[in-house]
């Protein structure tokens, strides 16, 4: 990336941290002003003592177990060839440092968390960058090329910066940069929609999802209602105090190591010809400067714990808003409720339309079978889906296609019900596996139901892929976690299967603890699928979720020194 773009990024980064620092100073002053202090005049070091300091230094390493698809442009643009064999190559060498500072002042608490990430230029990463540069040079939008290390992987971030205090005996206020977790599951998002996730450097595989969740500057008020055995939580997220890129989920559309197969090396913002699709955070129906709000009642009803919630904010996943000027054909499907507001020469824009999500959760322990049952149900009355199964590069006749990619006929809003049912149980496997204590087992079933489904609308699961959305779909996952040598050696096995579209994953792993400070985790990430796409930007077929991960089998090692 040129010097001008780098300077621009640095100015944006400085502005972002300046904004967060000003916010932090304001909330500290406001909160502390209303909280009585008990500091003695003789305690001159009251600001510097009693701080809790923690954090880690972590190294990630991963190796390809398959040969990922990496095709650069050829003489006729789409006639490129596979670049080398990357099987067993080092695909990631990532160093991360995290620092936590916490202080309890009595009636107020303060926390700061900062994280710095740096990637080493592996040979595989260098080839990804080279191919991305080649595709950008075939006619991508000016200034839209991406430097994977500088723009995607390397990062300096304030993860937490908040003040929390009790306004009354039953009212608690927490203001600043933080994470708010809703719902009963931490695997697929149902009600956990307050924050987006950054899946670009590690996809969905990181065990601690707080490392992937994007923190936000927000106001978090909890009012306890003791007479009703519950509490009411109110959230307010000021849009102008949060960057647009920190809203919604971020997927690898920059052509990096977790780009959907076969798009490694393809940067959507700088795709060839008019096929580029950049993000638009200022769309009138998806303006990230707009505020978000949420309400959640959390309570007890007999032995059941339950919650009822509503959230108004950006759709968790982006949808492609196609440009009708560059996507002719199929006017019968082009019923887009969103006007196109992007680059007139582009194929479209990625947007996060604002939606409302209503949900309930419940959980209970059953002594007879000795298990915990939990469920989560979310209703989205206007969930956005991309429309159009076939893409123009698939060799179809006039009138059959919708432009450059599947899904580029437009966007349809559908009524969506999402549900999760889970069982957690301790299994006594000492006699069978020789574990040092009972093992933890969990199984989860996820379901989607489009209540006003119409097949002729040709909904797709992901723009750019031809997998057709079905009225009902389900995924099942299970995890078995065991412990040996008094929790010093902890193997686990995670499996999942797409019951509707086919494919799945299996992740065997082991985490080893050495004393209080050193943790080592080894895992293999294995995927399988029914259909995958062989060529970038052409040959579209019915590829779905696990087809996106084709070629991404890998071995990962994570070394952590925690303090």
Q: Which of 438, 449, 87, 68 lies closest to 259, judged by CA?
A: 68
Assigned domain for 36 exists: no
Q: What is the mean pLDDT of residues 42-63?
A: 83
- The tokens describing 257, both together, are 């190591």
Q: What is the mean pLDDT of the chain?
A: 88
Q: Looking at residue 151, what is its pLDDT?
A: 93
Assigned domain for 44 exists: no
Assigned domain for 22 exists: yes
Q: For position 426, which CATH number holds?
A: 2.40.160.10
Assigned domain for 435 exists: yes
Each residue of 461-484: pLDDT tens digit?
A: 999 898 999 999 999 999 999 999
Q: Looking at residue 343, what is its pLDDT?
A: 86
- Cβ burial of 454 (10 Å; 0-12, 13-18, 19+) is exposed
Number of structural domains, the chain?
1
Predicted confidence (pLDDT) at residue 411 exceeds the cutoff of 70: yes
| Residue 77, strand partner residues | 74
Q: What is the mean pLDDT of residues 132-152?
A: 80
Assigned domain for 41 exists: no
What is the percentage of the chain residues whose pLDDT exceeds 90? 71
| Residue 527, strand partner residues | 505
Q: Looking at residue 46, what is its pLDDT?
A: 60
Q: Which of 478, 426, 445, 479 lies closest to 374, judged by CA?
A: 445
Out of 293-307, 396-410, 418-432, which region has the weakest mean confidence (pLDDT)?
396-410
Q: Looking at residue 135, what is its pLDDT?
A: 84
Which residue range forms the structural domain that includes residue 352? 3-30+50-562
Assigned domain for 38 exists: no
Residue 144 burial (CB count, 10 A): 17
Q: Looking at residue 5, what is its pLDDT?
A: 38
Backbone dihedral angles phi then psi of residue 359, each to the nearest 5 degrees: -155, 160
Question: Where are any strands of DSSP class E within 228-353?
Answer: 230-237, 282-283, 286-287, 292-301, 304-314, 319-322, 348-351
Assigned domain for 284 exists: yes
Bigger pLDDT: 392 vs 270: 270
pTM here is 0.88
Element (H, E) at 31: helix 3-33
Q: What is the mean pLDDT of residues 285-300?
A: 97
Q: What is the mean pLDDT of residues 200-220?
A: 94
- The tokens describing 376, both together, are 């989560």
Q: What is the mean pLDDT of residues 18-30?
A: 43
Question: pLDDT-based confidence at 43, cuts 50/70/90?
Answer: low
Each residue of 224-234: pLDDT tens digit?
A: 999 999 999 99
Q: Looking at residue 516, what is its pLDDT?
A: 94
The answer to whether the peptide bond before residue 367 is cis (omega within 30 degrees of 0) is no
Alpha-carbon gap, residue 461 to 506, rounded angstroms: 22
Question: pLDDT-based confidence at 21, cuts 50/70/90?
Answer: very low
Alpha-carbon gap, residue 507 to 494, rounded angstroms: 5
Assigned domain for 383 exists: yes
Highest mean pLDDT among 35-39, 128-132, 492-496: 492-496
Q: What is the mean pLDDT of residues 405-409?
A: 87
Distance, CA of 401 to chain centre = 31
Out of 152-161, 395-404, 425-434, which region has the weakest mean confidence (pLDDT)?
395-404
Residue 62 burial (CB count, 10 A): 24
Q: What is the mean pLDDT of residues 505-509?
A: 98
Q: Looking at residue 357, what is its pLDDT?
A: 98
């Amino acid at each position: 990336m040129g010097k001008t773009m780098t300077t621009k990024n640095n100015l944006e980064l400085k502005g972002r941290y300046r904004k967060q620092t000003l916010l932090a100073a304001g909330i500290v002053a406001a909160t502390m002003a209303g909280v009585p202090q008990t500091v003695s005049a003789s305690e001159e070091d009251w600001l510097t003592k009693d701080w809790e300091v923690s954090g880690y230094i972590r190294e990630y390493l991963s190796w390809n177990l398959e040969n990922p698809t990496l095709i650069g442009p050829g003489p006729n643009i789409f006639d490129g060839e596979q670049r080398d064999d990357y099987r067993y190559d080092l695909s990631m060498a990532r160093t991360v440092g995290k620092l936590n500072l916490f202080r309890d002042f009595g009636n107020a608490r303060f926390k700061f968390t900062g994280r710095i990430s740096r990637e080493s230029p592996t040979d595989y990463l260098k080839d990804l960058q080279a191919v991305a540069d080649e595709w950008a040079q075939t006619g991508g939008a000016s200034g839209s090329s991406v430097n994977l290390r500088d723009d995607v992987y390397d990062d300096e971030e304030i993860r937490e910066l908040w003040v929390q205090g009790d306004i009354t005996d039953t009212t608690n206020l927490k203001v600043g940069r933080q994470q708010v977790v809703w719902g009963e599951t931490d695997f697929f998002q149902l009600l956990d929609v307050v924050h987006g996730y950054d899946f670009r450097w590690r996809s969905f595989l990181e065990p601690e999802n707080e490392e992937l969740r994007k923190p936000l500057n927000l106001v978090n008020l909890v009012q306890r209602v003791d007479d009703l055995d519950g509490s009411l939580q109110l959230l307010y997220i000021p849009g102008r105090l949060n960057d647009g890129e920190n809203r919604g989920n971020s997927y690898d559309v920059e052509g990096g190591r977790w780009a959907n197969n076969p798009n490694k090396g393809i940067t959507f913002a700088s795709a060839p010809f008019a096929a580029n699709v950049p993000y638009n955070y200022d769309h009138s129906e998806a303006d990230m400067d707009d505020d978000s709000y949420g309400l959640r009642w959390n309570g007890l009803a007999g032995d059941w714990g339950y919650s009822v919630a509503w959230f108004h904010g950006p759709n968790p996943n982006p949808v492609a808003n196609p440009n009708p000027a560059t996507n002719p054909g199929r006017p019968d499907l082009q019923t887009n409720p969103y006007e196109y507001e992007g680059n007139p020469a582009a194929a479209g824009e990625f947007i996060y339309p604002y939606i409302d999500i209503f949900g309930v959760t419940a959980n209970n322990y059953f002594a007879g079978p000795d298990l915990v049952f939990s469920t989560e149900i979310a209703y989205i009355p206007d969930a956005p889906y991309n429309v159009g199964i076939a893409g123009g590069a698939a060799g179809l006749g006039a009138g059959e296609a919708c432009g450059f990619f599947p899904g580029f006929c437009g966007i349809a809003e559908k009524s969506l019900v999402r549900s999760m049912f889970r069982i957690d149980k301790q299994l006594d496997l000492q006699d069978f596996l020789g574990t040092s204590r009972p093992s933890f087992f969990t199984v989860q079933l996820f379901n989607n139901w489009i209540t006003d489904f119409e097949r002729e609308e040709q909904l797709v699961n992901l723009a750019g892929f031809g997998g057709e959305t079905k009225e009902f779909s389900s995924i099942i996952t299970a995890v078995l976690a065991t412990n040996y040598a008094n929790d010093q050696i902890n193997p686990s096995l995670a499996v999942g299967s797409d019951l509707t579209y086919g494919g799945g994953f299996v992740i065997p792993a082991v985490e080893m603890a050495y004393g209080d400070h050193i943790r080592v985790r080894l895992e293999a990430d294995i995927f399988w699928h029914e259909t995958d796409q062989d060529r970038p930007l052409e040959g579209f077929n019915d590829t779905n979720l696990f087809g996106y991960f084709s070629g991404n089998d890998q071995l990962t090692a994570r070394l952590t020194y925690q303090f």
